[in-house]
Structures are given as C-alpha cells and as structure tokens.
Amino acid sequence: MDRLARILGVGAGVLLAIGLWMGLVQAPPDAVQGDVQRIMYIHVPSILTAYLAFTVVLVASIAYLLRGSRGWDRLAHASAEVGVVFTGITLATGSIWGKPTWGVWWTWDARLTGTAVLFLIYVGYLMLRSVVDDRDRAGRYAAVVGILGFFDIIFTHMAVKWFRTLHQASTLEKGAIDPALYLPLMVNLGAFVTLYIYFLLRRVRLGTLEEAVEAEVLGG
Amino acid sequence: MGPWGYIGLAYGIAAVALGGYRCSLGVRLRRWRARLDRAAAGRAEDVP
C-alpha cells in the first residue's frame, strides 16, 4: 500500500505540473472573463474532488453503521479530512475569482453559502471526532453527521438551478465549454483526483498507526 | 491588482494548502511510526 501511495504521489505531482502548464500557458484566455478565468482550472477540480471525498464519507459511514468494521470508520475519517482541505481551497479560490469578476470577495449567494456550510459541517465532523474519547462511539456519531452532511452537497450543487444566484450555472453540465478550455480542466481534475487518492491512502495509514499504538499501549 | 495578481494569489494559496497538508501528513506519519516503535519496544521489555 505504501508503494502504491508513492506511485500515486509522483503521478499526482506530474499531472499537477502538466495541468499547471496547460492552465496558465497553453489554454487561451476566456472570451468574456479574460485571463482571470484561469482560476477555474483549480477551483472546479477542487470542489469536484471535495464532492468525491464527501461521497466516500457517505458510503463509508453507511457501511460502518451497518457492519461496524473499524476500516470503514478510518476511511470515512480520512476522506472527511482530505475533503475539508479541498473545500477550503474551493472557498479561497472562488473568493479570489469573485473579486475581479463580480467586484466583491464574498456574497451570501446560495451556492457560496452552501459551500461555506459544507466546509463547516465537515470541520464540525472532525471536531466531533476529536472530543469523543471512545473511538467506536465517535465513529457512530460522526457517521450520522457524515450521512446528513451529504444532503448539503445536493443543495449546494443544485442551488444555481433552484435559486437566482450570482454564481454561474455549471458550464460543464451545459456542454458549453470550448475544447481548448475543457482539456486543461480535465487534466487538472485528473491531477486533483489522483492527489486525493494519494492523500486518502496516507491518511488511512495514519489512522491505522494511531489505532495500533492505542492497542499496544492498552495491551501492555 | 491585475488578473495575473489574482491568478497568482489563487494558485499560491492552493499550493500552500496542498503542500502544507502533504507536509502535515508526513510529520504525523513519522511521529506515529516512532510512537508505535516505542510502544512495541516497551512491550518487548516487559516480556520475561
């Protein structure tokens, strides 16, 4: 597993370098937004990766509540932590994109607010885990939050359709993106997903080590 | 700030966040591996 993680780490680094070059150099500026649209090449992959991470939390949480296996709980915990990192990047890069595009760093738009709430839900998930001493109990409580938190992803994603928002609708879903912009976006998405899997494997390994130390101490 | 200033800021923050998290994982993994080694060594000493 360590070897796989190393390969994924190197792969993610290579893909990120290619994606960086494509996004900043090779891709043309957007016809309407100009160069500032290049922020999309990290903003969109980071939120899609966060959605993936929280979907893994949902699946692992349901599996943990049904089966009670520690492995599922470790997977959910690891994926939530990595998902919070990617959601934080989404919020930061979105805010920076918003200033030159909308004239404000932040507005209480449904999509933006939903993403901020998503970030807070999973920060809360991690805090909940850290305040409950018993691992199994913490896992059960966190699994409930991990399952309920997923509904905010649906709300956040659909917010641009359900409400009149400042945030634009998904260009990818409309199929209105030029291939010259689509390819760099997909390369960066591939890089972010590879990086997510790499982080996930390392974080799961960390959880396994923590529990092994606890077992050694209690057993000794 | 011009468009490249905003682009630099966004990419810079993303790089710091991802690099910082990678370092944090590395540090925590090393720390817990060392703790496991110490705990295992302590248990080995307890065995008569």
Dump pLDDT digits (tens) for A92-102: 999 999 999 99
Dump pLDDT digits (tens) for A101-114: 999 999 998 899 99
Alpha carbon distance A101, A81 (integer Å): 30
Say if residues B33 and A209 touch (Cβ distance below 8 Å): yes
Q: Which residue of B has its CA nearest to A43?
A: B10
Q: What is the CATH number of the domain that holds A90?
A: 1.20.120
- Residues in a beta bridge with B40: none
Closest Cα partner for B11 from A85, A195, A89, A49?
A89
The one-letter amino acid at A109: D
Point out the residue among A24, A88, A220 whose CB comes nearest to the CB of B17.
A88
ipTM over 0.95: no
Question: What HEC string does A58-106 produce?
Answer: HHHHHHHHHHCCHHHHHHHHHHHHHHHHHHHHHHHHHHHHHHHHHCCCC
Q: Which residue of A has its CA nearest to B10?
A: A93
Chain A residue set in contact with B, beta carbons under 8 Å: 20, 24, 34-36, 38-39, 42-43, 46, 82, 85, 88-89, 92-93, 96-97, 99-100, 195, 199, 202-203, 205-206, 209-210, 212-213, 216-217, 219-220
With b for 16 or more beta-carbon neighbours within 10 A and e for fewer, the A62-79 pattern comes to: bbbbeeeeeebbbbbbbb
Q: Is B31 within 8 Å of chain A by CB? A: no
- Position A15 scores a pLDDT of 96
Q: Is B18 within 8 Å of chain A by CB? A: yes
Q: Which domain range does residue A17 map to?
A: 2-218
Mutate to test the interface with A, among B1, B4, B6 (most CBs of A within 10 A): B6
Q: What is the mean pLDDT of each run of 10 residues along chain A (220 residues)?
A: 90 96 93 91 96 97 95 97 98 95 91 94 96 92 95 89 79 77 95 97 96 81
Alpha carbon distance A212, A219 (integer Å): 10
- Position B42 scores a pLDDT of 77
**Which residues does chain A have within 8 Å of residue B28's beta carbon, measured at their own beta carbons?**
206
| pTM of this structure | 0.93
Give how many domains chain A has, as a whole number. Answer: 1
